[in-house]
Structure 1
Amino acid sequence: MRWKITGSSVTGRSHADRGETGQDCHRAGCIRIGDNEYFIGLVADGAGSTTHGGQGAELACGCMYDRITNALRVDGDISRIADKEIRGFVTASRDAISAEAEATGKRLKDYACTLLGAVSGQGHTLFFQIGDGAIVVSADGGEYDTIFWPEQGEYANTTSFVSDEQFLEHLGICHRDSTPCEIAIFTDGLQTLALSFAQKKAHPGFFRPLFDALRQHPDGGFLDFSGQLSGFLTRDDVSARSDDDKTLVLAVVTQD
């Protein structure tokens, strides 16, 4: 079993019109341990009301990716990564953000960001999430399942962040003894296109063409397809539905 992956983060029209950079970030890759290959995908969305949310998102993704990679190299088995360890990894990401805030004389909440991730391979998958955005999977390329429904705060357009004081209370963790054939991880800029909030379901028509295109793309074409994905995310009809930053990570299982 092998993974084919791609990902893109694009600046939303609302930021671009103000001359601002985007505040989304993603990290995605595969690591091989012995004969086994594992997919790691992370996305984070800096809070729009912050001054350094994008930096917080980058720090959170980088720290979490390193922690997960190290854990896999030690244990060689996703199922051995306990919930306590995931909470520790997220806490370490928050600590990294806090250290940056202190070093620059900023407040921790100036770096507020969400954090979503998936780790999959060899018959086990681990998911975790703080805040909005979503992780969508398919076992057989048919029905699409949303792991955690996007968390909405008490007021409109609010959610939970890694920087929150009670951040661990809002951390969702899910283990599944299976390897999905398709995984999508995305920030809230794509929620209105990818999800039906009335039915609380993912839209197959949004995901299926993207997964099919990735599966059919030649091996080794990560960068080329990433460019195509960026073009899709910045299309006028997509931007008309959401002017927010958009991040999407896709992964499909292919045969050796």
Structure 2
Amino acid sequence: MGQSVTWRVVGASAIGTSHADSGTPCQDSCWAQVDQLLNGSPLLTMFVADGAGSAINGGQGAELAIATAAELMTQKAMQGEFDLDNQLAIDLVLAIRVRILAEAEAQHLKARDYACTFLGVVSSPAGTLVLQIGDGAVVLDTGSGLELAITPMSGEYVNMTHFVTDENAVEILARKTYPDKVLKVAAFSDGIQRLALDLASNTPHEPFFAPFFTVLATATAEQEDQLHHLLMKFLNSAPVNERTDDDKTLAFAHWMF
């Protein structure tokens, strides 16, 4: 039997130097996985969450958001067919909010104490859904070259953004659908934005992404086991830390023919 046609994925989160210096744990969290639908088709799910620095449990909020989204998509994959549409995006956000609100209530805290951004990609051969609340970004290629799926959200003031815990989260939720599967996709938190995007034009900085996609496409089965280690090494490298002191998350997927 040959290797099945699917995506090769890798994702990692690394603490920023400012958090390391202050003894604050990493407040980013991510997920990148391929499941199989009942019809045998692969389903790619990628999620990134970044806990708000102003929230006392922002990192825990990010972890809850990722776990909730991953569990919901695993359930949907097991149940059978579903649409990659606006309703799925809303379902994901509502499920995350229910989970975080329940945790906040149990701890006698407020939802904003768990504030975090959230973005994700769900893709199958039937199409692709991108959803986002807050900053960070998704860059993808469905056959027409790399593009920024959704412009990172900024708030009313500098260094402010929106969070999945905001009361109007469903209203500010941005989503975009594509009729095709993703061939290449990267999702990342705002700690990577200035390296990965041309912020003046809100376009992907292609030289940043090209080496990652090349490695994903050409790695042998033995080398695939090293991908996470290599990504962590990159995120913790001096050239990256010289450009950003924030927590950093990067997740990649490459369609393997």
Instruction: Name the TM tier (shorter chain).
Output: over 0.9
Unaligned runs of 5+ residues in structure 2 are none
Unaligned runs of 5+ residues in structure 1 are none
The question of whether the paired residues in 2 share the 8 Å contact of 1:3 and 1:253 is answered with yes
Identify the residue that residue 74 of structure 1 maps to in structure 2: 79
Relative to structure 1, the CA distance from residue 87 to residue 139 in structure 2 (aligned partners, 3 Å threshold; closer, same or farther) is closer
Identify the residue that residue 234 of structure 1 maps to in structure 2: 236
In structure 1, C-alpha distance between the alignment counterparts of 2:28 and 2:224, rounded to whole Å: 20
SS in 1 for 2:87: helix
Q: Across the two proteins, how many residue pairs are aligned to each other?
A: 252
Identify the residue that residue 58 of structure 2 maps to in structure 1: 53
In structure 1, C-alpha distance between the alignment counterparts of 2:101 and 2:223, rounded to whole Å: 37
Relative to structure 1, the CA distance from residue 198 to residue 81 in structure 2 (aligned partners, 3 Å threshold; closer, same or farther) is closer
Relative to structure 1, the CA distance from residue 109 to residue 6 in structure 2 (aligned partners, 3 Å threshold; closer, same or farther) is same
SS in 1 for 2:221: coil
Query: What percent identity do the matched residue pairs reach?
Result: 37
Match of 2:42 among 37, 55, 75: 37
**Which string of whole-angstrom CA distances, capped at 9 and with x for unpartnered residues, describes residues 19-62 of structure 1?**
11100001111111242111110010000111111100010111
Identify the residue that residue 26 of structure 2 maps to in structure 1: 22
**Which string of whole-angstrom CA distances, capped at 9 and with x for unpartnered residues, describes residues 159-183 of structure 1?**
0001111111111121110112100
**Given the alignment of the two structures, is residue 96 of structure 1 paired with residue 99 of structure 2, yes or no?**
yes
Identify the residue that residue 170 of structure 2 maps to in structure 1: 168
In structure 2, C-alpha distance between the alignment counterparts of 1:156 and 1:245, rounded to whole Å: 18
Q: What's the C-alpha RMSD, in Å, of the aligned pairs?
A: 1.5
Greater CA drift, 237-246 or 98-107:
98-107
Relative to structure 1, the CA distance from residue 178 to residue 82 in structure 2 (aligned partners, 3 Å threshold; closer, same or farther) is closer
CA drift at 1:104: 1.3
**Which string of whole-angstrom CA distances, capped at 9 and with x for unpartnered residues, describes residues 104-154 of structure 1?**
1222111000111001121311111100000001234x7310000100001
CA drift at 1:217: 1.6
The question of whether the paired residues in 1 share the 8 Å contact of 2:155 and 2:162 is answered with yes
Q: What residue identity is the alignment partner of 2:131?
A: F
SS in 1 for 2:95: helix
The question of whether the paired residues in 2 share the 8 Å contact of 1:6 and 1:222 is answered with no
The question of whether the paired residues in 1 share the 8 Å contact of 2:112 and 2:166 is answered with yes
The question of whether the paired residues in 2 share the 8 Å contact of 1:131 and 1:170 is answered with no
Greater CA drift, 88-97 or 127-136:
88-97
Return the TM-score normalized by structure 1: 0.94
**Given the alignment of the two structures, is residue 112 of structure 1 paired with residue 78 of structure 2, yes or no?**
no
Q: What residue identity is the alignment partner of 1:248?
A: L
Relative to structure 1, the CA distance from residue 58 to residue 217 in structure 2 (aligned partners, 3 Å threshold; closer, same or farther) is same
CA drift at 1:74: 2.2
In structure 1, C-alpha distance between the alignment counterparts of 2:85 and 2:149, rounded to whole Å: 18
In structure 1, C-alpha distance between the alignment counterparts of 2:95 and 2:232, rounded to whole Å: 30
